[in-house]
Structures are given as C-alpha cells and as structure tokens.
Structure 1
Amino acid sequence: MPKKPFLIFGCSSKPRRWLDYDDYFERGYSYNKLDIVWFRGVPFLQEIPQPLYFKLEQKEDGNPDVAEYLPPFLEGFSCPLFRDDLLEILYACGVDNFDVYSTEILDPDSGKVYKNYKAVNIIGAVAAADMEKSEYVLSDGIPLIDVPFDKLVLRKDEIQDLLIFRLAENLTTILVHESIRNVLLDKGYITGEYMDAIQFYEVDKFGFL
C-alpha cells in the first residue's frame, strides 16, 4: 500500500481504446474556440453545451497499445471522463468538488454510442507543492501552471479536506487521497498492479511535466 497520503491519479496503461484527438478539436472544444479550459480548477462562467461529443479512434491492427478495453477513467485532452460507476464511488467517498457534464462517445468501428461517462471539471487548484523540498527545473522562472517536477513534496496544510484536486504548480496533474485508492482496491476496480484500470503514482517517485 502507498506510504504517502496523496497519489497522482493517472489513466490506465492497459492496451485500450483511445479518444480521437482530431475530432475533439474539430468540434471546437479546445480552449481557443469555446474558452473551455478544464485544467484551471475553477467553475465555468459560460454555459457548456450538453452532451459533449467524443469519438474513439478506429482500431489499429497490430498496435500493442490498442484493445477493446474502455477504462473507467479516460483522459479527454485535459478534460477527464469518468464512468458513471466510478463517479458514484468517488461521491460515496466524500468527493464533492466536481462539476459534471453529460457525454456521448462514438465507436466508429461498431457504431455504438457510450452514454455512461461524464466530463468532469475538478474544482480546486491548490498550490500545495513544497518548492524548497521538491525537485524541479523552471524554464520561465514562474513556479505555477506547468512546473516539470522530478520529485514532488506536498505541503499538506494547504490541501485541507480535499480528497481530489489539481496541483496549481502543474495544472494537468490530478492528486487523489490514498483512501480513494483503497476503496477502489476493496471494490475490485483495480488490483494495485502495473497496467491497471487506473494508475496511481507516488508523488516522490514519479517525474512528470
């Protein structure tokens, strides 16, 4: 079991289906068209069209990273997509800082449309990194938004009672309390092994951008 109270929350590393990046931008969901920026950690000021439409990439024969598997958490180009059953578990754990939006995900190979995922805006960007104890290199001199950490040490007092939040020093990074990982283990959603349905990384052992 992890020794740290917070872990980095990551997408499955199993061979799986992938979202179509080009389709996402063609629909105008990128921030420069609709000003929808999912990683800011703040509520949207404008109305978001629902459902949001996504498409899976077509299956590619011979690609070892591709399989039929659809994990409970999909990274939607900084827009997290959580399956409904995963959301129910997170709510039951006490998570209450989500704004959620309905989605439809098209499988172009079968024509099937998945409606059991929600696009999730995680409310809360916390400047929780201990910059004196963490290891990183700054390219612009500003320790916010996109700091590339080699080792992350957290200031737990800044986090207060949040169970899941975005790290203000690296906004694409989602941190989650280990109690949630333990619940997912107990319910059989993950096994704790490499290439799991959801990946969890210890903050002081995982370098990231």
Structure 2
Amino acid sequence: MTYFRMSRLIDPNGAGLYAVSHFMTEFKTGHRFDADFVPPLVVQLDPELPNGKLPTFFESPAWIGTRSFHATLLAAGVANVEASPVEMHDDVNNRVIHDYLLLNIVGRVACVDMARSEIRSLGDGMNIIDRLVIDPARVPDLDLFVADEDTDCMIVSERLQRHIAAAGYGDIRFESLD
C-alpha cells in the first residue's frame, strides 16, 4: 500500500495562529487528550497578517482544521480523530471564527525507516524528518496516523489521500512516501 505525508501548502498570503489557551497542553502526541482537557482551544490570528487567507487546516500550534475538512475525514470512514471546538480570535477585524476544530489524531505509529530517511537533529530526542521513508510492515490498518519518530508527520493512506483530493481542497500537499 502507498502512503503519503499530508501537509499544508505554504501560502505567503496565508494566516498564522498563536495559542492563547492551553499553554501546558502537548498537542500532536498521537494519543487521546487527557481527561482534564477542557475545550475550547483559544487561538489568535496573527495580527501582522490581518487579512491572511484561512487554510483548510493549520499545523501549528496544533492541527486545527475546518469543520468541512473534519466532515470529509468522517465521510471517508476515519474514526481515530478527536475533534473539539476552537475559538479563533481575529482582533484586527473584531470577530471570533468558530468554523475550525482542534483535530487530535489518535494513532502514533513507529514506522519510520530511520536509516533510509533524511533526518536533522535539533538535540537529544528532537528530530526533524525532511524525507520520510516508512516501513510498511510496521503500519497497522489505519488511514491516518502520526509517525512516532516525529509526531509532526501526518501520514495518510492512498485511499484517504484520494478521498481528500477528490473533495477539492487546493491547499493540501501530499508527498508520496517510499
């Protein structure tokens, strides 16, 4: 089976986010939220990009996607995503946007072939994988998961990639994995 690394296309006119709440919460762990996690996650649009284009999903400070993107995942049969409300504050335009959800992918898989991948180390236990190579024998039957070796790596099956691509999202990038 073919897998893809899914990410957001970088748009120089795109909006950015800053977390305003949940400072001690670790996102993108691949595990369920702790029982004491209380939504909503509150974020603020970058005031230096007051009219920045809002993407299908943000990758920082957490995976935050539109409600329609979440619906696309559900329609594809993806069941391992916890979704909770997000309050997105746009202070420049004096509005609060409620069309986004915090998307917590529950599925952390040790699947990276570290010897064949291109990796940069930022220090002890902190790696950035520039070119991701996975060992398909270590991938369970999941359409969406994060790599244990770098939880910033969102991986989708070919089936899910086709479903998302067919939905017409123009700002999502898929990198085929070896």
Matched-pair contact (CA < 8 Å) for 2:2–2:176: no
Residue in structure 2 matched with residue 53 of structure 1 by the alignment: 42
- How far, CA to CA, are the matches of 1:68 and 1:45 in structure 2? 33
- The structure with the greater share of residues assigned to helix is 1
Question: Within 1, Cα distance between the matches of 2:56 and 2:122?
Answer: 35
Q: Indicate yes or no: 2:115 matched with 1:118.
A: no
Kindly provide the CA deviation profile for residues 3-24 of structure 1, in whole angstroms up to 9, marking residues without a partner as x: x8211111231221111x3xx2
Is 1:108 aligned to residue 91 of structure 2? yes
Equivalence for 1:70: 54
Q: What are the equivalent positions in structure 2 for 1:3-42 lying under 5 Å apart?
A: 5-14=2-11, 15-19=13-17, 21=18, 24=19, 27-31=20-24, 36-42=25-31
Alpha-carbon distance in structure 2 between the residues aligned to 1:152 and 1:99: 25
Which aligned pairs between 1:90-105 and structure 2 lie closer than 5 A?
A: 90-105=73-88
Matches within 5 A, 1:136-147: 136=119, 146-147=126-127
Larger radius of gyration between Structure 1 and Structure 2: 1
Contact 1:55 1:106 in 2 (8 A): yes
Structure 2 residue runs without a partner (length 5+): none
Q: Which residue type is aligned with residue 117 of structure 1?
A: Y
- Please list every run of 5 or more consecutive structure 1 residues that lacks an aligned counterpart in the other structure: 61-65, 191-196, 205-209
Alpha-carbon spacing, 1:156–1:46, altered in 2? closer, same or farther (3 Å): same
Structure 1 residue 137, shift from structure 2 partner:
5.5
Distance in 2 separating the partners of 1:139 and 1:56: 28
Task: Give the drift of 1:68.
Answer: 3.3
Cα drift, residue 122 of structure 1: 0.9
Give the residue type in structure 1 aligned to 2:165: L
Match of 2:162 in 1: 182
Of the three residues 72, 75, 92, the one matched with 1:89 is 72
Letter of the 2:79 counterpart: D
**Would the aligned equivalents of 1:135 and 1:152 in 2 still touch at CA under 8 Å?**
yes
Q: 1: CA distance between counterparts of 2:88 and 2:21?
A: 16
Shift of 1:203: 3.4
Q: Structure 1 length normalisation: TM-score?
A: 0.74
Read off the aligned partner of 2:22 and give its amino acid letter: Y
Q: Give secondary structure in 2 for the equivalent of 1:180.
A: helix
Aligned alpha-carbon RMSD (Å):
2.3
Change beyond 3 A, Cα 1:69–1:170: same
